[in-house]
Structure 1
Amino acid sequence: MIQALLLSFQSGMGANLQYVGLDNYVRLWNDPSFMAALGNTCIYLIVQVPIMIMLALVFSVLLNDTTLKFKGLFRTAIFLPCVTSLVAYSVIFKYLFGVDGLVNYFLVKLGWMTEAINWLADPLWAKVIIILAITWRWTGYNMIFYLSALQNVDRTIYEAARIDGASNLQQFFHITVPMLKPIILFTSITSTIGTLQIFDEVMNITNGGPGNATLSISQYIYFLSFKYTPDFGYAATVSYVIVVLIVVLSIIQFRVAGDRND
């Protein structure tokens, strides 16, 4: 990390690097591709992480019900996506939402559309598909943490709440969420870090397109290093944006949701 920081103050190709001071950092604010990548990554973070955390919470509560049958099957089905290959599932999503993909086929057959949509060529829908892909893969991963924590919660707390007339919704917000607060903080931070580093889904589903509509910061770093004219100094500068964002957002999350007595 120290070497990367030193590299961010240099510019040039290959080993022919020269110190340029803060020029790379100044360049960031005049780089439309970087600003697009930053904006896209922030959209993924703001939209996807809360949805995924809430879905994981809901699934964990439902699957923690002692009266539910086939719990093992449901738990496995929801968790399986997170052990699939990043490249494999990204390519599957790409073909599912292709012009000739299964999504268009069924929507047309059901009469919900008159003709196929080129989902990946539309800036808005392309982002939506990226968000769907990330949510599908990582919801089960976070669910396992919540489910493990819920199994250590004394069930008499819920029984007392039911006797007092608390509804399922009230139990969720006044018992489950407070009891899982440390785990929610942990998964929120890890999910934030993962989303800020998103690469495989964008690379394999849309390749950053159309235009730069789905370009992520990590993908832009890859392009700067290996696709465009190689500029490892500027790529290191962009990578430190991720470092700063992770540190700042983690501190904010600890301040907002952390235990002040810790």
Structure 2
Amino acid sequence: MTATAPPATPSAALTGKPAKEAVRAHRRARLRRTALPYLLLAPALITFGVFKAYPVVDSLLLSFSTGSGTATRAAGLANYRRLLDDPLFWTALRNTGEILVVQVPLMLGLALLMAVGINSVLVRWRAVWRLGVFMPAVTGLVATGVMFAFLLKRDDGAVNWLLDAAGLPTVDWLGEPFWARMSVVLVLTWHYTGYNAVIYLAGLQGIPRELYEAAMVDGAGPVRRFTAITVPALRPVLLFTVVLSTIGTLQLFDEPYVLTGGGPDNATLTVSMYLYQNGFRYFDFGYASAIAYALTLLVAVLGAVQMRLVGDKDR
């Protein structure tokens, strides 16, 4: 009798199929885990690309062209060379610089003093004072400009009425070049001082009280404690507010546009206003883009200088 092989079972032929299915399922699960973060980020990335990255790149390319619409043609560096010979651009840059030099130190100095004062009051009243000084910052810029335009009128403005009631000479706030720039400084200081004061107040509350108590034991007075403890401890906060305020002032547009319209005699014309005029009044988008990138370069240079001067000296 000859031996016969046992009959083949179906499971022997299908032993590899479940393993392959398991491998494929594992790969699909891993792919889903890998792709899920990108799918969740896709709306934000697409929005950033369409509304941020694309306009930045397109405006850079546009700065090397001239004309508008279908008449656009390459111009190389002509727009940037034009900036160097444009007296109105230099006027706008000088106006912006003068406002910056006066307004930023004045505003931040007042904000620091205000924060120190609020930090010294009773804790239960601190929230009330903090809310009070922050309220101007939530006022719309256009509304602020319109309000001060009425207050600073020459004939029937409230400010000149108060000056006249006090026996002081009235001022043509919006009609004389110097006072028009000071009016812009006044509006900016009123609007943003409380905002910076709240930032300083947060920094002050992070300084250990033991440092002040030790300084008082050593006989240090208020001024000495302020210069030796408060200012060094607030160095990162000071750097943040200085850089942020400088960038904001260099981009100044709303307040002078509503308050003076750039006048009188271009005395309050800023770089951003001049950019707007070239782009949306004269439709010279290539030159407007060149102004925008010149302003970007200026902001970057000033920011780097401030980081170097005000930043941490130990690094």
Query: TM-score normalized by structure 2?
Result: 0.79
Hey, what does 1:9 align to over in structure 2?
A: 64
Q: What are the superposed Cα offsets for residues 183-207 of structure 1, whole Å, 9 maximum, x if unpaired?
A: 1101111111100101000100000
CA RMSD of aligned residues (A): 1.4
Trace 1:76-225 onto structure 2 (pairs within 5 A). Answer: 76-99=131-154, 100-113=156-169, 116-225=170-279
Q: Which has the larger radius of gyration?
A: 2
Task: Give CA-to-partner distance per residue, 1:89-124, whole Å, 9 cap, x none.
Answer: 1111111111111011111122112xx432101000
Task: Indicate the larger mover: 30-39 or 8-17.
Answer: 8-17
Task: Looking at secondary structure, tell me which structure has more helix per residue.
Answer: 2
Distance 1:117 1:60, change over 3 A: closer
Cα distance, 1:159 vs structure 2: 1.0
Higher relative contact order structure (alpha carbons within 8 Å, sequence separation ≥ 6): 1
Gap runs ≥5 in structure 1 = none
| Structure 1 residue 13: Cα displacement | 2.5
Q: Which amino acid aligns with 2:166?
A: L
Q: What are the Cα deviations for residues 14-69 of structure 1, in whole angstroms up to 9, with x where unaligned?
A: 33211111111111122111111100111111111111111111111111114477
Q: Work out whether residues 8 and 234 of structure 1, in 8 Å CA contact, stay in contact via their aligned partners in 2.
A: yes
Q: Aligned AA for 1:110?
A: A
Gaps of 5+ in 2: 1-55
- Pick aligned residue for 1:29 from 84, 108, 114: 84
Give the count of matched residue pairs: 259
Q: CA, structure 1 residues 3+134, in 2 after alignment: closer, same or farther (shift >3 Å)? A: same
Secondary structure of the 2:72 match is strand
Residue type of the partner of 1:107?
Answer: L
Corresponding residue number in structure 1 for 2:310: 257
Deviation at 1:74, TM superposition (A): 2.2
Partner residue, 2:3: none
Relative distance call for 1:74 and 1:15 in structure 2 (3 A) is: farther
- Structure 1 residue aligned with 2:14: none
CA distance in 1, matches of 2:223, 2:232: 13
Task: Please identify runs of 4+ aligned residues in structure 1 that moved more than 3 A.
Answer: 66-70
Confirm or deny: 8 A CA contact 1:14 1:230 kept in the other structure.
no
| Percentage of matched positions with identical amino acids | 45
Q: Deviations over 1:123-169 (max 9, x none)?
A: 00000010011111111111111111111111011111111111111
**1:52 corresponds to:** 107
